[in-house]
């Protein structure tokens, strides 16, 4: 099959992160994929080696017109996160769909959420009434955590690679002088509770090495020395997607943000804290609580998430070893439940086959 995936980079690279993983997963199963992206700059560090079977189209008026004319329309057009695909590509898609019948599909890939509306809206049709796609029908495809959603992206060999992972070798390769202390990754926005977390690590009886990702997490960190009491800080360069997975596998506790890293933290199986993207109308409060419900989070994990995401006025709870162990059990149990379900790509192929 041939796929076109359309992606606009809004902010923080989560959109392109999801789209690149999907494109690589499709190519890994032998499909041809074109990723249309308005700003491919992030791929220089996210995917420096590219991916066999995936070609990148710079999404601007000149290149879009040329790309739409160069090859036949795709079997499946994926509109990621309601980005409005290039009109030239939609016109070509509509023309060829009219000529060869109803086998071509337009999928609107939506944002991940654990909220109840996802099950209600997943798979629903959305007729297109304006040119150039007038007369076509999109179908909503919602990733999610239940059988009645689109599931989560997961490579077939992911858990096998996780089992073979050599933490000590990976740390050594990245110049991280690990001496057996607790390892914590930091991938965040600018949480108000960050200073409290650092102070907690500095005063703790157990030494901690904080591995700080490039970008907003590094910028949010208050200036200071690499060694701060019981806390040692290591700043990381921008990591390609496989190396980001390795970072999560290497750590005893992961602080993640956004959509793609949340799913990867779940597959990593270690305790994690998710900073949800803040929204002006506080809609993220309900979204976070829905996820914590789905995770079956205990009160300690729920309270820490609320404090970390600035919900309510509670202080950041202390990270006690027994509490972290219980969080790890929660993550592993949730991972087991999700592994019992089909992954997103399996469900997407099934959905397309049923609609053809």
> In the β-sheet with 2-7, what is the strand arrangement from edge to edge?
54-58, 32-37, 2-7, 76-80, 105-109, 137-141, 125-127
- On whether both 190 and 98 belong to a single domain, the answer is no
- On whether both 51 and 9 belong to a single domain, the answer is yes
How many whole angstroms separate alpha carbon 191 and alpha carbon 220? 8
pLDDT tens, position by position, 168-197: 999 999 999 999 999 999 999 999 999 999
Domain that holds residue 90: 2-151+341-355
- On whether both 195 and 99 belong to a single domain, the answer is no
- On whether both 105 and 199 belong to a single domain, the answer is no
Closest listed residue to residue 240, CA positions, set 54, 42, 58, 56: 42
Report the domain count for the chain. Answer: 2
Query: pLDDT higher for 284 or 21?
Result: 21
- On whether both 254 and 332 belong to a single domain, the answer is yes
**Which residue is catalytic, options 4, 245, 259, 260?**
259
- On whether both 204 and 101 belong to a single domain, the answer is no
Q: Which CATH number fits the domain that encloses residue 334?
A: 3.40.50
Closest listed residue to residue 47, CA positions, set 240, 328, 256, 312: 240
- On whether both 135 and 36 belong to a single domain, the answer is yes
pLDDT tens, position by position, 314-355: 789 999 999 999 999 999 999 999 999 999 999 999 999 997
- On whether both 78 and 193 belong to a single domain, the answer is no
Q: Is 58 helix (H, G, I), strand (E, B) or coil?
A: strand
- On whether both 134 and 165 belong to a single domain, the answer is no
- The continuous run of DSSP H or E covering 227 comes out as strand 227-228
Q: Is 13 helix (H, G, I), strand (E, B) or coil?
A: coil
- On whether both 347 and 335 belong to a single domain, the answer is no
Strands 32-37, 2-7: pairing is parallel
**% residues pLDDT > 70 (the chain):** 99
Q: What residues are paired with 33 via a beta bridge?
A: 3, 54
**CA distances from residue 253 to 192, 217, 245, 269 in whole angstroms, order as listed:** 19, 16, 13, 10
Q: Is the pTM of this model over 0.85?
A: yes
**Which residue is catalytic, options 4, 15, 79, 245?**
15
Q: Is the dihedral of CA 103, 106, 109, 110 positive or negative?
A: negative
> Do 193 and 220 meet the contact criterion of CB atoms below 8 Å apart?
no
Strands 227-228, 208-212: pairing is unpaired
- On whether both 314 and 346 belong to a single domain, the answer is no
Annotated active-site residue 15? The verdict is: yes
């Amino acid at each position: 099959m041939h796929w076109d995936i359309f992606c606009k980079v809004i902010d923080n690279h989560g959109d392109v992160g999801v789209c690149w993983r999907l494109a690589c997963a499709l190519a890994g199963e032998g499909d041809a994929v074109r990723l249309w992206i308005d700003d491919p700059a992030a791929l220089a560090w996210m995917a420096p080696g590219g991916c066999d079977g995936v070609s990148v189209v710079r999404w601007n008026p000149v290149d879009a017109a040329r790309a739409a004319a160069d090859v036949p329309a795709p079997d499946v057009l994926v509109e990621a996160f309601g980005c409005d695909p290039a009109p030239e590509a939609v016109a070509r898609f509509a023309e060829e769909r009219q000529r060869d019948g109803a086998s071509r599909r337009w999928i609107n890939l939506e944002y991940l959420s654990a909220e109840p509306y996802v099950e209600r809206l997943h798979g629903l049709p959305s007729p297109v009434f304006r040119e150039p796609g007038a007369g076509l029908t999109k179908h909503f495809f919602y990733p999610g955590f239940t059988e009645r959603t689109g599931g989560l992206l997961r490579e077939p060999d992911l858990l096998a690679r996780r089992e073979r992972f050599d933490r000590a070798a990976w740390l050594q390769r990245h110049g991280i002088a690990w001496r057996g202390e607790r390892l914590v990754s930091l991938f965040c926005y600018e949480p108000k509770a960050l200073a409290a977390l650092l102070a907690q690590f500095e005063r703790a009886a157990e030494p901690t090495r904080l591995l700080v990702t490039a970008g907003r997490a590094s910028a949010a960190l208050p200036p200071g020395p690499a060694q701060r009491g019981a806390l040692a800080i290591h700043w990381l360069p921008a990591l390609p997607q496989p190396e980001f997975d390795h970072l999560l596998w290497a750590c005893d506790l992961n602080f993640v943000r956004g959509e793609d890293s949340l799913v990867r933290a779940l597959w990593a199986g270690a305790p994690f804290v998710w900073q949800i993207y803040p929204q002006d109308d506080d809609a993220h409060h309900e979204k976070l609580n829905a996820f914590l419900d789905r995770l079956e989070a205990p009160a300690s994990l729920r309270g820490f998430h609320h404090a970390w995401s600035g919900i309510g006025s509670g202080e950041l709870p202390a990270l006690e070893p027994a509490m972290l162990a219980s969080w790890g059990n929660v993550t592993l149990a949730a991972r087991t439940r999700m592994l019992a379900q089909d992954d997103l790509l399996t469900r997407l192929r099934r959905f397309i086959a049923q609609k053809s």
